[in-house]
Chain A
C-alpha cells in the first residue's frame, strides 16, 4: 500500500485521517474553550449552534436527495419525531443530570426517527419521483397532526399539542453540537465511500441498470432513507435542547422546504456544499435582520434561479478534501486528484 501511495504521490490515507482527527480535536477543544471563556456573546453562540443543527439537517437530507436521488418532502417530520422523543425522555428521566443524559436523548431521538423512517420508507420507496415526494409530504403532515392532537385523543400528557412542550433541559452546547456535526459528516462520508455508498449512487444514476447489476434497490433506498431519518432525528434532539420549547407548528411543510433549499443550493451530492450553504443560510438572515420579510421570497427565487441556470447546485457534486488540498499545496497534485476533482476547478 505504501508503495502504491508513493507511486500516485498522494497523501497516505492514514495520514489524511490523522490530519482530519487532529484538526477536528483542535477545533472541538479550542471552540469549547473559546465559547466557555465567554469571549463569544450568547447571541453569537446561539447562531453557531443553529448553524450546526442546520448542517446536520442539510447533510441528512442530502443523503436522501443528493446521493440516493429521491425527493422526500417530510424531513421536518423526522426532525419533529427526534425532537419530541428526546424532549419527552429528557423531561421524564431524572436519574442523572441532564448533561449526562443528553447523549442518550440524542440517540433516542435519532433511533425513533430512524424507526419511523424505516416504517415509512418501506411503502413509500416503492414509488418514484413525484409520488415519493408527495407521499413523504403526506407522512410529514400526518406526524405533525398526530403530535398536535395525540394528547386530546389518548389522554396522555406527552406533547401538549398546540400549547407546546415546555421546560426541556437546555443541554445543547457547542461541544455536543460540534461532535454531532462531525459524527454526521464522518458517517455519511464513509457510508458514501463504502461499497454500500457506491451501490446507493448506482441506484441514483440509473435504477434499472443498478437492479440489473444485482443491486437490491429497495434495500439501499430503505437503508439510505433510514440513515437520513436518523440524522434528522439527531438534529431534532439538538434543536429541542437548544430551544427548550417545542411546538408542532415549527415542523411544518415550510421547514422541510427550507432544508431542501439548503441542500439544493449547496449542490445535491456535495457534502461540503451542504455545510457551506447551511452555514450561510443560517447566518445571513441574522445579519440581514432588517430585510427579514423578504427572506422567504429570496429563498424561493434563489431556488428557482439556481434550478434554471445551474441545476446541480452551486457546488455541483464537488467535494472538498483536506488531504488533496494539502497534496496540491505540496506541489505534487496526484493524477487521481486531476481525474476526480481537477475538472471542477
Chain B
C-alpha cells in the first residue's frame, strides 16, 4: 500500500517528464527541483505565514507552474535551435542552481512540513489504509484522468500532440510552437506541484536535495513506462513505487536506490522504448 502511495507520486512527476520529453525531446533535469520548490512553498505558507493547508496547496501548485514557465522562457527558449547536448547541460545547470539557491535561502537542513491532510485511517478487512494514502491515490488518479481528457479532447491537447509528432508540420498548420511548449511546461510543472504536496504528505519534510533523487526515480518511471506515453508513466510510477516498497519489505532498504537504477538499466537494454513506448527510428 505504501508502494502504491509513493508510486502515484512518482507517476505524477513522471508525467511531467514524459510530456516535456515528448514535446521537445529534453530531459528536464530541473523537474525534480521544481518539486522541491513546491514543497518549500507549502512549508512557507503553512509554518511562516500560518495559512490553511488548502491555501498552501494552491500556492505550491501555483509557484511550481510559474517557475516551470519561467525556466522554460529564460533557459530553454534561447536554446531551441542549439544541439541537444547544450540543452541537457543547461537543464542540469538550472537544477543545480535551484538546489543551491534553496540551500542558501532555507539552509541545508530539512524543514518539517506539518500534516497537510488530516484524515482518519480506514480499515478494509485486515488491511488498514492511512487517510493520506487514500487521498494521494484519489488525487493522482483524478489528475491523470483530467490530463488524459485535456490531451485527448481539448484544442491545446491536440496542438501538443501535433507538436510532439512533427514540430515543423505543426507550425505549418498554424500552431504556435512557443505557446504550446509553454503550456506543456505549465501543465507538467503544475503536476509536479501536486506531486510535491502529496510527497510532503507522505514524507513530511522539505530539503534542498529532495528533488534530485525523487526526480531521477520519476524519470526512471517514465522510461520504464515508455517515454512520451501518459498511461505508460502511470504504470511505470506504480511499478517503481511497488518495487521500492518490496525492497524495503525484504530488508534491503539501503539498496533501494541502486535497485531503481538497475531496473532502469535493464529496461534500457532490453526494451529501450519502455512498456508502452513508440519506436522512433532516427532518420538522416
Contacts and interface: CB of A to CB of B under 8 A. Distances in A.
Decide whether A and B are members of one complex. Answer: yes
A308 B265 contact: no
A303 interface: yes
Contacts of A69: 85
Nearest to A263: B89
Nearest to A161: B254
A308 B85 contact: no
Interface stretch (A17-25, A226-234, A272-280, A291-299): A291-299
Interface string A301-342: 101100110010000000000000000000000000000000
By size class, the interface of chain B is 35 or more
A208 interface: yes
A43 to B, nearest CB: 26
A30 interface: no
B89 A307 contact: yes
Nearest to A149: B254
A148 interface: yes
A326 to B, nearest CB: 35
Interface in A103-143: 123, 126-131, 133-135, 137-139, 141-142
Given A123-B265, A142-B261, A149-B255, A134 B27 contact: yes
Contacts, number: 115
B104 A297 contact: yes
B138 interface: no
Contacts of A253: 212
Given A145-B255, A304-B97, A135 B86 contact: no
Contacts of B99: 296, 300
Interface in A62-85: 65, 69, 71, 73
User: Which secondary structure dominates chain B's binding surface?
Assistant: helix
Interface stretch (B44-52, B74-82, B112-120, B195-203): B74-82
Contact of B254 (A127, A133, A148, A297): A148
A300 B93 contact: yes
A297 B92 CA distance: 12
Interface in B267-284: 268-269, 272, 282, 284
Given A253-B212, A294-B104, A311 B83 contact: yes
Interface string B73-113: 00100110011111011101111110111011000000000
Interface in A223-258: 253, 257
Interface in A32-61: none
Which of B25, B262, B269 is packed against the most chain A CB atoms within 10 Å? B269
Interface in B203-243: 212, 216, 219-220, 223
A307 B254 contact: no
Contacts of A303: 89-90, 92-93, 96
B272 A71 contact: no
Nearest to B98: A300
A300 B261 contact: no
Contact of A129 (B88, B103, B212, B219): B88
A260 interface: yes
A264 interface: yes
A146 interface: yes
Given A135-B264, A145-B257, A71 B96 contact: no
A311 B265 contact: no
Contact of A133 (B27, B82, B255, B257): B27
B258 A296 contact: no
Given A135-B265, A145-B257, A300 B88 contact: no
A304 B104 contact: no
A148 B88 CA distance: 29
A311 B272 contact: no
Sorted from nearest, which 6 A-B pairs have the closest CB atoms?
A: A138-B261, A303-B93, A300-B96, A130-B27, A300-B97, A304-B93
27 contacts: A65-B85, A71-B85, A73-B92, A123-B265, A126-B272, A130-B27, A130-B88, A135-B264, A135-B268, A137-B216, A138-B220, A139-B261, A141-B261, A142-B262, A208-B284, A209-B284, A296-B99, A300-B95, A300-B96, A303-B93, A304-B93, A304-B97, A307-B90, A307-B93, A308-B75, A308-B90, A311-B79
